């Protein structure tokens, strides 16, 4: 039986249909459900094996990118999201979804009780160049702890489209803990495969350690700024007419779907 994937749709979300197509190609039974429908029936989430918080500009990015959606996740749906995450089910937040996961405290990965009355240990803030970035990037799967990036042998080529993708941590969450717990899931790299080294535009936003995505310590929750759902067909690669056909994001989704099918 195909695992059921819920794509959360808030006011201002977009690329949700792209994620549905990516997950369908990966073998899931994927459906988009508006946030307001979950408000009416909170138990609906428990019927799914995989959760996606897609990109876009939820609630018009009022108070900051992903902030109001983060408040929904951390307050109104706190119990349901916590049960989903702590049960080991796969969760992925892309772009605005990543921002919401970080600003709600779900990432870097504190437990529900630890998140309460505590300042965030990480954030996604304004791009270092001070403007919106829309370009194609290369990202390398790093974490072997993350169920999403484990054993991905090929780098991913896909677009970014964000104004607040600069991942930073504070002194309450030292970067050494990311390394120790294998939480750096994806990093920006050059065409030859070497690290971006913070250089713009290889690293499009100035994120520390060239971080493009992180996972929680358990490895089932992934957040990333790039959009792998927008490179699932060879012809979406802007250089496909020059023979460049690799780097699809499909395998990342296949990892999540395969894991969800076992739950």
Q: Which residues are catalytic?
A: 95, 227, 229
Rounded CA-CA distance 50/30 in Å is 9
3-state SS class at 92: strand
Distance CA 147, CA 5 (A): 16
Closest to 91 (Cα-Cα) out of 261, 262, 263, 260: 260
CA distance 98 to 231: 18
Contact 167, 121 (CB under 8 A): no
Contact (CB, 8 A) for 43 and 18: no
Which 8-state DSSP code applies to residue 146?
S
State the residue for tokens 């009416």: 40
- Pair of tokens at residue 124: 């996604």
Strand partners, 136: 159
User: Which conformational region is residue 13 in: left (phi greater than 0), alpha (psi within -120 to 50 degrees), or beta?
Assistant: beta
Question: What is the Cα–Cα distance from 106 to 99, expressed in whole angstroms?
Answer: 10
Relative to beta strand 91-94, strand 50-53 is parallel
Crossing angle of the two packed helices 16-25 and 250-261, in degrees rounded to 10: 70
DSSP state of 52: E
């Amino acid at each position: 039986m195909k695992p059921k994937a819920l794509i959360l749709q808030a006011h201002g979300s977009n690329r949700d249909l792209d994620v549905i197509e990516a997950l369908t190609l990966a073998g899931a039974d994927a459906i988009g459900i508006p946030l307001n429908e979950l408000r009416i029936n909170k138990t609906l989430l428990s019927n799914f094996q995989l959760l996606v918080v897609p990109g876009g500009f939820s609630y018009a990015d009022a108070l900051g990118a992903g902030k109001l959606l983060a408040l929904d996740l951390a307050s109104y749906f706190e119990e349901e999201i916590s049960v989903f995450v702590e049960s080991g089910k796969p969760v992925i937040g892309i772009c605005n979804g990543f921002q919401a996961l970080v600003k709600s405290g779900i990432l870097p990965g504190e437990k529900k009780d630890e998140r309460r009355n505590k300042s965030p240990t990480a954030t996604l803030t304004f791009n270092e160049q001070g403007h919106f970035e829309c370009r194609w990037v290369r990202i390398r799967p790093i974490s072997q702890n993350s169920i999403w990036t484990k054993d991905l042998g090929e780098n991913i080529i896909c677009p970014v489209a964000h104004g607040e993708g600069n991942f930073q941590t504070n002194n309450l969450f030292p970067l050494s803990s990311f390394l120790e717990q294998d939480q750096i899931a994806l990093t920006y790299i050059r065409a030859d495969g070497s690290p971006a080294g913070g250089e713009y535009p290889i690293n499009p936003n100035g994120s520390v350690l060239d971080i493009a995505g992180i996972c929680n310590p358990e490895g089932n929750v992934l957040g990333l700024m790039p959009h792998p759902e927008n490179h699932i067909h060879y012809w979406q690669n802007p250089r496909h007419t020059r023979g460049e056909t690799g780097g699809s994001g499909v395998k990342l989704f296949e990892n999540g779907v395969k894991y969800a099918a076992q739950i």
